[in-house]
Chain A
Amino acid sequence: MEKILVTIRGESMWPTLTEGQEIVAIKYHGQEIKVGQIVIFNHPFDNNVIAVKRVKVVDDGRLFVEGDNPDPTASNDSHNFGLLKQEFVIAVAV
C-alpha cells in the first residue's frame, strides 16, 4: 500500500481539515471506497486541480463527494460537478 503525504489548501474541509494541514493517504488501486471516507481526486472539470472531499454516497460505483464546511459556498464538490467516477480518485485518506 503506497502512502502519499497530502497538503491541504483551502477551507472546504473545515473544521476537519484546515489550510496547510498534512494528511496521509493510501494510493487508490481499486480498493472499496466507503461512505464517510475522505478521497483525493482529480477534479473532473479541471485537469489542473487535485481536490479533497468526503464521500457522502456511493451510487453504482460513482461517488457523491462533499466538503465538510457547512457553508454552501465553501466547497466545489458534487453539488457542482455531480457524481464522481472512481477513475478520478488518486488516494483515500487514512
Chain B
Amino acid sequence: MNRIEASAHCDGPCGVYDPASARVAAEAVQSMTKKMIALEESHSADSGTASYINTMSRYAAIKEEEAHKCKEELLVLWTDFFKPIHLESNPGLHDTFWQAAKLCSACKVEVSAQHAQELMDAVEAIHNMFWAVKGREVPWIRAS
C-alpha cells in the first residue's frame, strides 16, 4: 500500500509564533519600572527640574508602550497559536493568559516592581507552555 503524509495545519504558518517578543517587551517594562524607582530614590531633590521630568517621562512612556506591546503579543499567542486541543495538556491556559494580560495593564498604570516581576514570571510560564506544545526544549533566557 502506498503511503503519503497529509497536512492538517493551521491558517498561519506555525513557525511565525514565538513568545520571545513578549519576553523582550516584558523585560523592557521591568527595566523601566526599576529605573523609575531608582530615579525617585536617588534624585528626588531634583524632581522639579526639566531634566528630571524629561527622564522620568521617557521611562514612563516606554513602560506604557512596552506593556501594551507585551499584551498584544500575548493576545496573539493566546487567540491564534493556542488551540482547543492544547487545553488538554494545559488546563490552566486561559487563566494564565488572562492573568498575564491583567499584569500588563497593572504595569501600565502602576510603578510596581512586584507586578513587573510577576509579569516576567507569567511570560516565562507561557514560554514553557508554548515550547512544550511544540515538543521542543527551549531554555528561558533574559537579555538583561
Interface residues on B, range: 10 to 19
A10→B4 contact, CB < 8 A: no
- On whether the beta carbons of A9 and B11 are closer than 8 Å, the reply is no
Q: For the complex, is B45 an interface residue (Cβ under 8 Å from A)?
A: no
Q: How far is the CB of B58 from chain A (nearest CB, A)?
A: 37
Given contacts A4-B4, A5-B3, A73-B80, is CB(A11)–CB(B11) below 8 Å? no
Q: Is the CB of A9 within 8 A of B10?
A: no
Q: Tell whether, in the assembled complex, residue B10 and residue A10 are in contact, meaning their CB atoms are under 8 Å apart.
A: yes
Question: Cβ of B9 and Cβ of A10 under 8 Å apart?
Answer: yes
Interface residues in A20-64 (C-beta closer than 8 Å to B): 24, 40, 43, 49-53
Residues A76 and B10 in contact, CB atoms below 8 Å apart = yes
In the complex, A10 Cα to B8 Cα: how many Å?
A: 4
**B83 on the A face (CB < 8 A):** yes
Write the nearest CB–CB distance from B31 to chain A, whole angstroms.
33
Out of A2, A3, A24, A50, name the residue touching B6 (CB < 8 Å).
A50
**B81: nearest chain-A partner, CB-CB:** A73
**Which one of B1, B6, B80, B85 lies within 8 Å of A11 (CB-CB)?**
B85
> Which of A9, A70, A76 is within 8 Å of B84, CB to CB?
A70
Q: Is the CB of A9 within 8 A of B5?
A: yes
8 Å CB contact of A74 from B1, B2, B6, B83 = B83
Name A's interface SS: loop
B100 to chain A, nearest CB (A): 20
Q: A92 at interface (Cβ–Cβ under 8 A)? A: no
**Contact between A90 and B4, CB atoms less than 8 A apart:** yes
State in angstroms the CA–CA spacing of A76 and B84 once bound together: 16
Identity of the chain B residue whose Cβ is nearest the Cβ of A72 in the assembled complex: B11
Contact of B4 (CB < 8 Å), options: A13, A40, A70, A74: A40
Which residues on B sit within 8 Å (CB–CB) of A43? 7
Residues of A within 8 A of B (CB): 2-15, 17-18, 24, 40, 43, 49-53, 67, 69-76, 80, 90
Residues on B facing A (Cβ under 8 Å): 1-12, 79-80, 83-85
